Amino acid sequence: MTILSAHPIAPAVRQRIEAELRLIEEQHHVRVLFACESGSRGWGFASPDSDYDVRFVYVHQLDWYLQVEPQRDVIELPINDELDISGWELRKALQLLHRSNPTLLEWLCSPVIYREEIETTARLRELADQFYFPLRVRHHYQAMAIKNNREHLTGDLVKLKKYLYVLRPILAMNWIDAGLGKPPMRFAELVEGTITESALLDEINALLKVKMQAGEAASGPRWPLIHAFIDKHLQGAERDLAYRKPAGDSQALDRLLQDAILVGRR
C-alpha cells in the first residue's frame, strides 16, 4: 500500500528562503554549507498552514576559530508568520555527529534541500554513516515517543499532528530494531518499511489525509488501531543506558572541519 506523502515547497517560498540564507551569510560573515527542511514538510505530512522549518550548517571565517573565548555557535532568526530558520556552526554539528545526533542525521537525509556544497555535504553524509550508533539513536526516539504520548495522547480529543509525533519515533525505533540502518526522515518510508497490517495502514492513511487537509491545530477523536499500536510499543518500554557510550575516531571530523574553514587558503 502506498502511504500518503507530500513535500510542498512553492517556488516563491524557496526563493524567499534562499534570500534569507544569503542575508544570514552577509550579516554573520559565515558560509552556509547545507540547508534543508526539517519539519512536517520534510516528514511529508504538512498541513496547509504548516510553517517552513529551515535548518542549516554553516562555517565562520578563520579568525572566528582563533579566539580564546568560546563564541555563540548557533544562528536563530525570529520566527515569523511562516518561516522558522536556525542553524548550527560546523564544529558544533561535527561534535553532535560524533555522538550520532539523530536530529542532524535527519537533516542530512531530508528530501527537501535548499542549499548544499556538494563535496562537504557528501563527506558529512559519509561521516554520518561512520558514526551512526543505533542504540543512541533508538534511545532518542524512544524518549521522544514516550514524552509526546504522555503529554498529548491521553485525552479523548487529540490533536491530529500529535499522533504523528508519537508514531514517527516509534516507527524509527522499529526500523532500527529490524536492522534496516539509519531511519529515514520521510514518514511514508518508515511506515512502508515497518508496518504490514492492512487495517492499520488504512487508518494511518486516513489520519494523514485528514491532517494534510486540516489546519495545524485540528483535533479529533481517538483512532483506535493507532492507539493500540502505540500502547503495544510503549508499554513497559525500557532504556538501555549503554547508549551513552561514545563511538568512532574524531580525526575524520577534525579533517572535515579544517578543510571547510580553510577553503581557498591552500
Q: Pick the residue with more confidence: 241 or 92? A: 92
Q: State the Rg of the chain over Cα.
A: 20
- What's the CATH code of the domain at 109? 3.30.460.10
Check whether residue 139 and residue 194 sit in a common domain: yes
Q: Note whether residue 6 is domain-resident.
A: no
At 265, list the grid cell.
587558503
Question: In this predicted model, what pLDDT tens digit does every residue of 180-197 receive, in sequence order?
Answer: 999 999 999 999 999 999
Residues 103 and 17 in one domain: yes
pLDDT value of position 263 = 80
Is pLDDT at 7 greater than 70 in this prediction? yes
Give the whole-angstrom CA distance, residue 82 versus residue 52.
6
Residues 159-166, mean pLDDT to the nearest whole number:
94
pLDDT in tens, 29-69: 999 999 999 999 999 999 999 999 999 999 999 999 999 99
Residue 264's pLDDT is 55
Number of structural domains in the chain: 2
pLDDT above 60 for 139: yes
The three cell numbers of residue 200 are 492499520
Tell me which DSSP letter residue 255 carries: H
User: What backbone phi and psi angles, to 5 degrees, belong to 165?
Assistant: -75, -15
Flag whether 186 is in a domain.
Answer: yes
Across the range 14-37, mean pLDDT stands at: 97
Three cell numbers, residue 66: 582563533
pLDDT above 70: residue 13: yes
Does residue 2 belong to any structural domain of this protein? no
| Residues of the domain holding 94 | 11-132+249-261
Residues 101 and 98: their CA atoms lie apart, in Å, by: 8
Tell me the backbone φ, ψ of residue 37, rounded to 5 degrees: -95, 130
Confidence of residue 80 (pLDDT cuts 50, 70, 90): confident
